[in-house]
Structure 1
């Protein structure tokens, strides 16, 4: 007696049935609210609440000095992004190559990722205060104190550095997962040929982890643009002189402090477009670099 197997028609439908719940969740909780936000950005605030105002909100953003500062800071984050990716990549490489104490390092490096940004910000406020421990050490070395959080030209670099320290543990875990797909025979061949660590990383590890690097680049960029609010709020509150404003902080300020949800929606739309364009450019550049290697 032959048992009939699943029909070809059902086999073709099975992938769509499995994917359907995730698609519905993305559409319902992501794409639909995004469309509503974009539509809301073309309406007015205050007395004009809900009334169409065309591009007025976007023109106001273009003329707002605080929003201009936030966009310049986005450019700074993009420039610092390779460094934010290289740090966990190199540390993951050393752990994968089993340097002494690699198991301990794995736990230590990941620990900051489980801390709340508020806690991290409070800790570094104490460490980086004008009369804090770091400036005391610098004074002992004969260097004058640095106003890490009060100097407009330094504050943004300080907050970004703290953010990288607090979050690179997650990227490190992703890199370690990527190493599990790397062909170990290539590393053995490089070791036999006497390749230096630098050449091994550049010619073996980087080409072998191209997709992992692309993923970490995009997720790190998204994290830097959308997950720094806690640090900014605790460490600088957007100051000094608005020097540490980012679009997400600007959005919160307009929505929560100024009661201008339509303008905040316009800023959110601009942030989404910036993230989309920057992400696509990064992936394109990384793919070209991978093909050239």
Structure 2
């Protein structure tokens, strides 16, 4: 009989699968946005994910208290803002750039914890490596988002709208993770996951007119993107992530997480034939090094992960 995989091995493989899916979704969503307006895509994706989680967690949802509702509202707001910025930005930039800029959340979370009020009780203050990682990552962001020959006078004009929106997404996802750190230990995982996605869906329905007149053409690529992003990249990924991190040390989770923009870049090259120039590749490398400084060198600290 074949030997059963240990929980640690299973956690590595499952979390790696989640990272691959998250990386591939940048390309799937970029391609699907030919057939649907960005904010309508988010609404459809989040609504399907909420239905799936509500079915799976229906027993836990019978015992929701006021604290769980408030927590779901807070976390769901930041989650919705992050997705709205990310998808709107993805429609205006490349999938690879979107992935690397979104990856800055791994640097932003420990950077924000320098403010004592934003730290959860079990979160230590950031170390000196956080500052180095932040500097490297933001220098990389400069190279990634600005064309060759950009002067200081035209710096902000040369950065694309999609890149700015995606940076806003990274800030919102960082706030999402910080709010999760304060609430996740007091609310059952099934309740919090379902509530935050339900709140995000409601906010997306409310803010839908901001993106202009919504449109949709139901094509095979759009349907595939909706199924993958709602069921795999959101509903299943939230569940797998919560379980896997119980069996993995922080450094292992960090290494897997830094692979997400790499998978996104490879997928965008293979599927959409997007290429990063030498300058952009240098910026992407600096962002990865900055993430490594922030997450891999400090030991004994829980790693920040984020949904895509």
Q: Establish whether TM, by shorter chain, passes 0.5.
A: no
User: Taking structure 1 as the reference length, what is the TM-score of the superposition?
Assistant: 0.31
User: Taking structure 2 as the reference length, what is the TM-score of the superposition?
Assistant: 0.30
Which of the pair has more CA radius of gyration? 1
Q: Which structure's relative contact order is higher, taking Cα pairs within 8 Å and 6+ residues apart?
A: 2
